[in-house]
């Protein structure tokens, strides 16, 4: 356990506590939210450090009293057994954590191989995430969506947020960061007349939502195009050019939004998506340029390949990164996804404790 790191973090905790006690900070909601999240992250460290200090003090007192009264010996022994557990907990809390764990996310689901069946499954995944968010008490907002002819989703982007400051600094990202990658489904499609099982795929992208202050965007670097929104089969939704497509010229990142009838609202939502993508791009470039920085990241799951299979005939869900298999697919799609997410979180924790940089993809 690094005593210097602990002292630094406890000093930061004390400083944040003073700042939050000053009513003036709440005049700037963005700053207040940022400070509040960091304070929430450090609170478990402060609490555990105080618990350890108290336990050590009690042990010293019990041993001193035991020299005069044997009845205190049992208390001293109990304290001596308890302290290593507190030390281990504190050491784990002091490990570098994902700096984005307290953030909200923008989750995108894109139909892939499999045509209409892929779009239908993309709709199933959207409902799964919305139901899971509801179970967690999170707030969801559909930023943009394109439905398919049969009511599936060709492409959808959803903002998912915590209410207030996340407990312990663990926000939506800390749970859903594992979801990025290719999700494969095996089932008899609604469009299949002969009852044959088909395999199709859906892509999921999860990015932490960035605050305006975190990403500076030069308006001269943007090309903004407007166009007419359209629904399934090209059916016109709006009679005005309210949909917005924004291209960030230096990076080539493109985002679009057409859900709202107001061009201004669509542009605002598109800018939120652009900020998130540019923030993640900058983070990935920095991590690639410095292996030490990459080693400090907790967000280690490979998102570029197939990560999970949903097998409907067997009611089976399998996560290929950690060899996780469960036969409760119906419950998972109903929003009860904590089983697989807990398994991923625990696998990541074990990898970090072992000093590894990535979860094993066996």
What is the pLDDT confidence band of residue 230, given thresholds at 50, 70 and 90? low
pTM to 2 decimals? 0.76
Q: What percent of the chain has pLDDT over 90?
A: 54
Q: Are 129 and 206 in contact (CB under 8 A)?
A: no
Could you tell me the maximum CA-CA distance found in the chain, to the nearest angstrom?
90
What is the pLDDT confidence band of residue 80, given thresholds at 50, 70 and 90? very high
Backbone angles phi, psi at 177, to 5 degrees: -65, -20
Quote the pLDDT of residue 356. Answer: 56
pLDDT digits (tens, 9 = 90+) for 297-333: 333 333 346 899 999 999 999 999 999 999 999 999 9
From residue 6, how far is each of 45, 48, 79, 248 by CA, in Å?
A: 8, 11, 22, 41
Quote the pLDDT of residue 305. Answer: 64
Quote the pLDDT of residue 165. Answer: 76
pLDDT digits (tens, 9 = 90+) for 340-349: 999 999 998 8
Whether pLDDT at 240 is above 80: no
CA gap 87, 79 in Å, rounded = 12
Quote the pLDDT of residue 234. Answer: 42
CA gap 66, 77 in Å, rounded = 10
Average pLDDT on 244-266 reads 91
CA gap 256, 340 in Å, rounded = 32
The DSSP annotation for 323-336 comes to TEEES-HHHHHTT-
pLDDT digits (tens, 9 = 90+) for 134-181: 999 999 999 989 998 888 999 999 999 998 877 778 899 999 999 999
Strand 153-161 with 139-147, pairing: antiparallel
């Amino acid at each position: 356990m690094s005593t210097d790191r602990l002292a630094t973090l406890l000093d930061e905790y004390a400083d944040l506590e003073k700042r939050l006690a000053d009513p003036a900070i709440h005049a700037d909601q963005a700053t207040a939210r940022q400070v509040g999240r960091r304070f929430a992250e450090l609170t478990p460290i402060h609490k555990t450090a105080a618990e350890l200090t108290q336990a050590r003090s009690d042990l010293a007192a019990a041993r001193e009293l035991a020299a005069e009264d044997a009845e205190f010996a049992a208390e001293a022994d109990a304290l001596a057994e308890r302290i290593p557990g507190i030390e281990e907990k504190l050491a784990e809390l002091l490990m570098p954590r994902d700096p984005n764990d307290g953030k909200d996310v923008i989750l995108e689901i894109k139909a892939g191989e499999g045509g209409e069946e892929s779009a239908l499954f993309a709709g199933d995944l959207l409902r799964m995430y919305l139901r899971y968010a509801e179970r967690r008490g999170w707030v969801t907002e559909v930023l943009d969506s394109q439905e398919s002819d049969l009511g599936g989703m060709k492409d959808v982007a959803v903002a998912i947020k915590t209410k207030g400051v996340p407990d312990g600094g663990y926000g939506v990202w800390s749970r859903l960061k594992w979801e990025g990658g290719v999700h494969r489904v095996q089932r008899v499609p609604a469009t299949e007349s002969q009852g044959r099982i088909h395999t199709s795929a859906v892509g999921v992208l999860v990015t932490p939502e960035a605050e305006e202050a975190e990403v500076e965007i030069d308006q001269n670097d943007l090309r903004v195009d407007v166009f007419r929104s359209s629904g399934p089969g090209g059916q016109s939704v709006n009679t005005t050019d309210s949909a917005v497509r924004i291209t960030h010229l230096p990076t080539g990142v493109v985002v679009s939004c057409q859900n709202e009838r107001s061009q201004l609202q669509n542009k605002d939502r598109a800018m939120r998506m652009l900020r998130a993508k540019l923030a993640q791009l900058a983070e990935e470039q920095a991590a690639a340029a410095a292996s030490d920085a990459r080693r400090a990241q907790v967000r280690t799951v490979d998102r570029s390949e197939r990560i999970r299979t949903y097998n409907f005939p067997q009611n089976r869900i399998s996560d290929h990164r950690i060899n996780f298999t469960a036969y409760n697919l119906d419950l998972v799609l109903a929003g009860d996804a904590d089983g697989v997410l807990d398994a991923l979180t625990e696998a990541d924790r074990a990898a970090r404790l072992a000093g590894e940089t990535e979860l094993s993809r066996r």
